[in-house]
A and B are shown apart, each in its own frame.
Chain A
Amino acid sequence: MNETLTKAAMADRLFEELGLNKREAKEIVELFFEEIRGSLERNEQVKLSGFGNFDLRDKKQRPGRNPKTGEEIPISARRVVTFRPGQKLKARVEAYAGTQ
């Protein structure tokens, strides 16, 4: 019952519901995620209404430490992706009263 959603299951749904052939379905799923990655790697935010936004944040270099040796090593400046769920998705998920 607890099924993790994967690309294969997404392609299956496109095959069953929209009648795309299996090869087309697989390709569209790949392109969907690849276009999102491509947009993000051009430093371009992605906004999917009904789902959420993928934003980019630039982090400055900050001091860090090797947890094993205690040695100080700076954590280099980096760019990270963050996901902000939209109102609609938040409302749908909030209602989920799962077994903790």
Chain B
Amino acid sequence: MTKSELIERIVARQSQLSSKDVELAVKTMIEQMAQTLAQGERIEIRGFGSFSLHYRAPRVGRNPKTGEAVGLSGKHVPHFKPGKELRDRVNASLLTHPEPAAEA
């Protein structure tokens, strides 16, 4: 499911908002989530999961072409921990949906 498919599915599930409003809402939510992480803050959505930053220590890397050593500075990477409801529902689908879903 892509962002535009997600927008279509939300439109189909409710009757008050136009598809334009739903599109704006989805884009606003995704941007707010990205902004939150970019500011070093966490996201906690009960029943879905939490997003936080993990720190990667500085290390010496190598240019794969020349073999030359390059110093790589420390950085933060986004991390997602699924919540219990999501974990349980996805795990239960092992039995109901053994194969990957066909493209909608």
Binding site for B on A (CB under 8 A): 2-7, 9-10, 13-14, 17-18, 20, 24-25, 27-29, 31-33, 35-37, 39-52, 54, 56, 58, 77-83, 85, 88-90, 92-96, 98, 100
Contacts and interface: CB of A to CB of B under 8 A. Distances in A.
Contacts, number: 176
B90 A93 contact: no
Given A48-B3, A89-B37, A40 B10 contact: no
B93 A41 contact: yes
B62 interface: no
A34 B45 CA distance: 11
Contacts of A36: 1, 6, 48
B9 A35 contact: yes
Contact of A4 (B10, B29, B43): B43
A80 B29 contact: no
Report the 3 A-B pairs with minimum CB-CB distance, sorted nearest first. A83-B80, A44-B101, A98-B40
Interface string B63-92: 000000000000111111010011101111
B6 A37 contact: no
A85 B78 contact: yes
B40 A42 contact: no
